[in-house]
Chains A and B, each alone.
Chain A
Amino acid sequence: MSSTENKSVASGSSSRRDDIRHALHLFRQNPLVLVGLAISSVTLLISVLSPFLVNPALANDTHSLVKNCWNNPIISWGSNISTCPGAVHPLGTDAFGRDLLDMIVLAIPVDVRIALEVVLSALIIGIVFGATAAYAGGIIDEVILRITDIFLAVPGILLAIIFLFVFGRTFTVLTVAIVIIWWPTYVRLLRSQVLSEREKPYVEALRAMGAGRARILFRHIVPNSIYPLLVQATLDIGSVILTVSALTFIGLSPSDLLPELGNLASQGFGYFFQAPWEIIFPGLTILLISLGFNLLGDGIRDIFDPRLRR
């Protein structure tokens, strides 16, 4: 047996290939997921490559602007006149005379970055507090749940607005504000999953094996409970982008000139009848990205959960 053993220890690639084949099979069954995957991949790709896709001068200008917006509230910039979509500017220009397509391409990474940061933070908070609440039970569970209740009771957008007013309009504050309105759902979701998972027989078997509480919880129960959270997180990337755009649309953007989808739409809103493209295209982009992540979220569980691979 030993020689074959060595071979398999060395290779082990066949199961990886099976995973990919399984994923492709699922996509074929549910083409909408494929659409979602395509849109989200393009979005992420644009986020990474955006500085190289646009007019370098514009990229350079906005780069320092975006960078400043993470820490300094309110920066102002010069003005110009918007032009119609045409050969030179495929989607036209915005009220400041900047190419709208370029601006959208530059705006995507800003929104995606905030969305990813929010979702990842909420996910981590959700896992730690949700798992602790469910597994510890008793007073700890009660305290954590009541805190989530408090946050769920306050209207989220309102809380974020208050936050931005008090601490200044920067992206950092915006991100933190959205994390604060976002985490309670994750805690509750994971808690309910862990509650049902910890009663399963394999947990008893693990205890019989002398596994410690932390090991059982984070190595065995959490990986079994996390799939609904991954779905929620994927769906939420779209929702966070919507929330961010909503907040900047109503005027909580750090700067009017900022390439950010909500902000672009907000600036265009002022010229709705003269230059409708200014609000239509950023709005469509928001719609498309949210739709993409929502479609992807529906299928993602089927791909990752090994229990469903039959």
Chain B
Amino acid sequence: MSQPQDVLTVKNLRVNFHTYAGDVKALDGVEFTVRKGEVLGLVGESGSGKSVTALTIEGLLPQNAEVLSGEVMLDGADLLKLKGSQLMTERLTGIAMVFQDPTTYLNPVLTVGSQITEILASAPKLFTKELISSRLDDLKKMEADKSALSPELQKEKGQLEALPADAKLSKREFNRLAKYYALDILHQVRLPEPERIFKSYPFELSGGMKQRAMIAMALARRPKLLLADEITTALDVTVQAQILKLLQLLKEEIDTSVILITHDLAVVAEVCDRVAVMYAGNIVELADVEELFKNPLHPYTQGLLASIPRPDATKLELTSIKGSVPNLISPPTGCRFHPRCPKAFDRCSKEKPPLVEFSPGHFVECFLYGG
């Protein structure tokens, strides 16, 4: 399943949460890959393990969680085995996470600008080169636009060009360049008046603007992978559309891979390249987005798609999947979906079906399709 263009490979991930009522078996052998430059949608209902998967990748699981097995390979390094400063560097530049509710995930007493520049200043060595080249690009662009730079800017350009590749900037100079860099990023996430936003406190911005600021903070680090955990859930519908549009634009502009976690199939259809459907801690189906919507294989996916209300529907009642999500302290034996599955047979309750490739690129975890 793993291929060279894969940025992230998750293998056989099993996570338990210890609680007083017993162990919650939250993830039960999750496997998927993210290719370079793609948007992978991770869909499923509440409690299916989407967010736990994200937190495991980020290494942010709470104290009572235990990773039983599995590996999370990001560009050849197993994130689950990293410790200390390596882990911090990987969090800084490897994976950036954007959270559900932008209101609570920004520090309320620092301005947006200082929150971005602070990330850069926390590891000057990692970002110096990026800052210099970004400022030089700006200056060159200005030069191209106006055909000549003012003497000061000309001088600045000369100085920056003269810097060696491994230059160490003074704190003042670093902060100055970091500010230009942050303004560029704010501009890139299509925030109006970046200068004003830079000086604003989070409470002075609307929900959509805050989410853009969060995305800017994530992008400032030039991550290999962006983890977007329900980023549109707390926003209203028109703003949702804008943020999704932005995500698509950015994906093309900066060539980063994205995992988009959502329970909204419409969002998936809109922005994702591939989709992984999760149910009760398993990935039950994984396919290209068109393939999945046209030809859903797993009974759960079929049920999900059938329960989307359609304007042309003739019957008045909404379709739903019978039953409810199982209690993961004592999950059903075999296939975790079998008690609700209309097509279940004997074997389903006895063995866990393997993930099989039914057609090229279309994986499914169900005995109906072999295994």
Contact = CB atoms under 8 A, between A and B. Distances in A.
Interface of A: 1-5, 8-9, 12, 15, 200-202, 204-212, 215, 219-220, 223-224, 305-307, 309-310
A126 to B, nearest CB: 18
B97 interface: yes
B167 interface: no
A212 B101 CA distance: 23
B358 interface: no
B203 A307 contact: yes
A211 B122 contact: yes
B60 interface: yes
Label chain B's interface by main secondary structure: helix
B141 A219 contact: no
Contacts of B93: 210
Nearest to A2: B142
Given A5-B195, A210-B87, A305-B109, 11 more contacts: A201-B101, A202-B108, A205-B97, A205-B214, A207-B91, A210-B92, A212-B88, A220-B107, A223-B110, A224-B109, A306-B108
Interface of B: 58, 60, 87-93, 95-97, 99, 101, 104-110, 118-119, 122-123, 138, 141-142, 176, 179-180, 183, 187, 194-196, 198-199, 201, 203, 214, 217, 221
Contacts, number: 89
Contact of B187 (A1, A202, A208, A305): A1
A306 B109 contact: yes
Given A210-B88, A309-B201, A220 B97 contact: no
14 contacts: A2-B138, A2-B141, A2-B142, A5-B180, A15-B199, A200-B104, A202-B104, A208-B60, A208-B96, A210-B90, A210-B123, A224-B109, A307-B108, A307-B201
B212 to A, nearest CB: 15
Nearest to B183: A5
Given A5-B194, A12-B199, A15-B199, A208 B91 contact: yes
Most buried by A among B58, B92, B106, B109: B109
B281 to A, nearest CB: 22
Contacts of A9: 176, 179-180, 195
A201 B107 CA distance: 9
Contacts of B118: 219
A209 B119 contact: yes
B99 A205 contact: yes
Given A209-B217, A211-B122, A202 B199 contact: no
B16 to A, nearest CB: 21
Contacts of B187: 1
Contacts of A200: 104
Of listed A8, A215, A310, residue having the most chain B CB within 10 A: A8
B172 to A, nearest CB: 13
Residue in A2, A204, A208 with the greatest tally of chain B CB atoms within 10 Å: A208
A307 B109 contact: yes
Contacts of B141: 2
Contacts of A206: 107
A223 B111 CA distance: 12
B92 A209 contact: yes
A141 to B, nearest CB: 16
Contacts of B97: 205, 208
Contacts of B119: 209, 211
A7 to B, nearest CB: 8
A3 B153 CA distance: 11
B201 A306 contact: yes
A202 to B, nearest CB: 5
A296 to B, nearest CB: 21
A5 B87 CA distance: 35
A202 B60 contact: no
Contacts of A208: 58, 60, 91, 95-97
- Of A205, A210, A212, most B-chain CB atoms within 10 Å: A210
A3 B106 CA distance: 29
A307 B183 CA distance: 23
A227 to B, nearest CB: 9
A307 B201 CA distance: 8
Nearest to B126: A210
Nearest to A5: B183
Interface centre among A8, A205, A212, by most chain B C-beta atoms within 10 angstroms, is A205
Nearest to B198: A8
Contacts of A15: 199
A305 B109 CA distance: 7
Contacts of A4: 195
Given A204-B60, A205-B99, A210-B92, A224 B108 contact: yes
